[in-house]
Each structure stands twice: as C-alpha cells, then as structure tokens.
Amino acid sequence: MTVTIGRRELLAALGGAAAAWPLAARAQQAGRLPTIGFLGASTPSASAPWVAAFVQRLRELGWVEGRTVTIEYRWAEGRTERFTVISAEFVRLKVDVIVTHSAGPVIAAKQATLIIPIVFAAVGDAVGTGLVDNLARPGSNVTGLSVQQTDIAGKRVELLREVVPGLRRLAILVNIGNPNSVMEMGGVKAAASTLSVESVTIEIRQAEDIARAFEAAKGRVDALYVCTEPLVFTNRIRISILAAAARLPTIFGTREYVEAGGLVSYGTNVPDLFRRAGEFVDKILRGTRPSDIPVEQPTKFDLVINLTTAKALGLDLPPSLLARADEVIE
C-alpha cells in the first residue's frame, strides 16, 4: 500500500512527465527537457490556429509545454533566407526534433542536419521534391504529411471552370524559387491544357514582385490560380485585395486564403495536419526513428467559398457548387 501511494504521489508531482519518460530520461542527463524546434514559415499571427492544434495534440499525448517539453518558436515571415538561418540555430541549440511545413523550410532543415529528426506538418509532394525516398519508408531523418498538391491541382482548375464558365485563359501565380510550387504549376498547366484552357505563368520570388505580377495579369486573363507556399501565404490579404481590384476570380489551396478575401479554396484542413504532426513528434520523442514512420497523406479535402467576394465580382455561382461546399463564407 505504501508503495502504491508513493507512486501516485510521484506521478502527481511529475505532472504527467512519466508519460514522456523515454526521452525525458535522456534529456535530463543533459539537464533539460526534450526540446522541439518549431520553424514557422509565415508569421505567428497567421500560424496561430496551426500552432494551437499542434500544441493541443501534444498535450493530449502527455507533452505539456513548459513542464514535460520545451518548444522553441522561430518565424521566417515568408522570407526564404530565414529558413537556413533558423535551421542552423536549431542545430546549435541541439533540439530533439524540428517541426516545420512547406518544402523550402524542410529542405533548409535537412541541409542543416542529417541527425536531428524533422517532421513536416504539410508539404506539397514529399517524394517529388526529394524530401523522402518513398512514402512507406522515408529512409532518412525526415517524415510527416504530404498533401500531394500536384494531384489535386486538376480538381482546382475544374472548380474554376465551374465558377467561370467561359474560362479560356488562366494565370498561375507561382513563387518560382519554391520547388513544390514549381511542381504544382506543372500540374496546373497540364490540367488546363486537358480542359483546353490556355495558361500563363506569373512568377514571383519576393513580396515586392506581387504588385507587378498583378499588373502583368490585369485584363489578360479570366481567372487566377495561386500556388500555395509561405511567401504567398504571408501576403494572402494583399493578394486578395489586388485580385479584387483586378476583377479576377481566384482559387487557392487552403481556407485561410478565402477567409482573407479570396474566392475559392480546395484543399486540406491545415490545423488537422498540425494535429497529426503532433502524433509524429510524440512517436519520435518516445524513441521511434523518423525513417521508420511512414509519410501520411490526407484523405479529406475541404471546398470553401467566399460568397461576399463572389458578389463583389458579379459572379452568379452555380447552386450545385454551393451545395457541395463544406463552408460558404458570407
């Protein structure tokens, strides 16, 4: 009986730390809690729902921030050069796992370390961009969730044609410096060609290029496809304002763009991906090698429509499209 009471007291005193014991024991040898390096590709405010989902899932699994685990947050604010700087800092800090999203930050982290496990909450195509050998057995220190953007690019083009029945010329806004966006652009071009829609590419590399890109597209195209990645995500409100001024219907990869004034999005639920990333981190902190954790793919895709934006553009959306939407923002 005395032993049982002592055990309960110990567990209470640890506040759940026993659940995180395997890595905690190793980390304590170095006099610290297990540490997660969180590389946010955008800004803290833009990523807040994603971080909340990630931290909540960790808590459910026994990893309580400040008690059983430490999380070091760093923000690149859509600037590519920051990916390398932050990754190098995490290596110097000797974090136990790096969590990030999008191909650019993952590539930077992988170049910085072949030892520290890296979990990506979302990338467009993990195999196509060379982040892993294959989905079933990643084969390195990298694993996570692959959205397969190229595969669903065609669906987005089809949706745009429903929104704009007379769609003949489509502009593709792409950060040409992001390998995943380049792959997605290829998928969009192929899908557009199949549907007899001409496509033109509007390339950007930095925020300063965005306004010029819209000037180039204005009056030349019927709609705009935006390839999702950190630079455009950070500037999503600005992009929506410019698109509205240019009278361009837009389609994006995630709902956050539509919440910022974009017209339509079709893609995965990003907070859910970050929740699932928490499960990957849990396995790694308990001793599983990332190379032994298969890359997962989402199975559910959300269609979100901003009806206010549609009305501002003078679009009469088909009732069948609105009926299929997972959410209509008014």
Q: What is the distance of C-alpha 216 from the center of its chain?
A: 28
What pLDDT was estimated at residue 92?
A: 97
Q: Are 95 and 60 in contact (CB under 8 A)?
A: no
In angstroms, the CA 12 to CA 58 distance is: 19
What pLDDT was estimated at residue 7?
A: 39
Task: Give the pLDDT of the chain (330 residues) as one tens digit per residue.
Answer: 333 334 334 333 333 333 344 554 455 445 689 999 999 999 999 899 999 999 999 999 999 999 999 999 999 998 989 999 999 999 999 999 999 998 899 999 999 999 999 999 998 888 888 889 889 989 899 999 998 777 789 999 999 999 998 999 999 999 999 888 998 999 999 999 999 999 999 999 999 999 999 998 888 999 999 998 899 999 999 999 999 999 999 999 999 999 999 999 999 999 999 999 999 999 999 999 999 999 999 878 899 999 999 999 999 999 999 999 999 998
Q: Is 275 left (phi over 0), alpha (psi -120 to 50) or beta?
A: alpha
What pLDDT was estimated at residue 30?
A: 54
- 224 contact partners, CB below 8 Å, separation of at least 6: 170, 171, 172, 173, 217, 243, 248, 249, 250, 251
In angstroms, the CA 170 to CA 252 distance is: 13
What pLDDT was estimated at residue 31?
A: 64
296: number of CA atoms within 13 Å, CB side?
Answer: 20
What pLDDT was estimated at residue 124?
A: 82
Alpha-carbon Rg for the chain, nearest whole angstrom, is: 22
User: Spelled out in words, what is the top-level CATH class assigned to the domain 149-267+302-329?
Assistant: alpha beta
Fold: same for 2-147+270-292 and 149-267+302-329: yes
**∠ CA 66-288-229 to the nearest 5 degrees?**
70
Distances (CA, A) of 158 to 6, 154, 170: 64, 6, 12
Q: What residues pair up with 186 in beta bridges, in sequence order? A: none
What CATH topology corresponds to 2-147+270-292? Rossmann fold (3.40.50)
What pLDDT was estimated at residue 281?
A: 98
Segments making up each domain of the chain, as ranges:
2-147+270-292, 149-267+302-329
What pLDDT was estimated at residue 32?
A: 84
In angstroms, the CA 237 to CA 156 distance is: 20
Tokens representing 247? 């009278």
